[in-house]
Amino acid sequence: MNRRLELQSILENFIGNSNVYYQPPENLKMEYPCIRYYVSDITSSHADNINYVNTIGYEIVVIDKHPDNPVIEKILGLPLSSYDRHYIADNLNHDVLRVYY
């Protein structure tokens, strides 16, 4: 299975619904609480002048009307994850995390 689709499935399981959006277009009306994510980095490891392994980094944004969403701690339980920042926009709480998966 594609690694991104595996991550999609994990995030849907964490949030308990299918409101998980990968690189959504600007005109898409999202339902809250939700998770929005996109590729933010690709780290490559080299050996013998060959690109050996690519690790894809995702910026994950948990969007909710409530400031304390339990999904944040679930995501932080994933290997190679970290919390970046919190901000409020349009009366919604946005928690930004980074995950290499």
Please give the pLDDT value at position 29.
Answer: 93
Residue 35 belongs to domain spanning: 3-100
| pLDDT tens sequence across 52-95 | 888 999 999 999 999 999 999 999 999 999 999 999 999 999 99
| pLDDT tens sequence across 3-35 | 999 999 999 999 999 999 999 998 999 999 999
Q: Give the CATH number for residue 67.
A: 3.30.2000.30
The whole-angstrom distance between residue 92's C-alpha and the CA centroid of its chain comes to: 17
The tally of domains found in the chain comes to: 1
For residue 35, the one-letter residue type is: I
pLDDT for residue 1 is more than 80: no
Please give the pLDDT value at position 49.
Answer: 86
Sheet harboring 81-89: ordered strands across?
20-22, 34-47, 50-64, 92-100, 81-89
Q: Are 47 and 35 in contact (CB under 8 A)?
A: no
- Give strand pairing partners of 20: 35
Q: Are 60 and 99 in contact (CB under 8 A)?
A: yes
% pLDDT > 90, the chain = 84
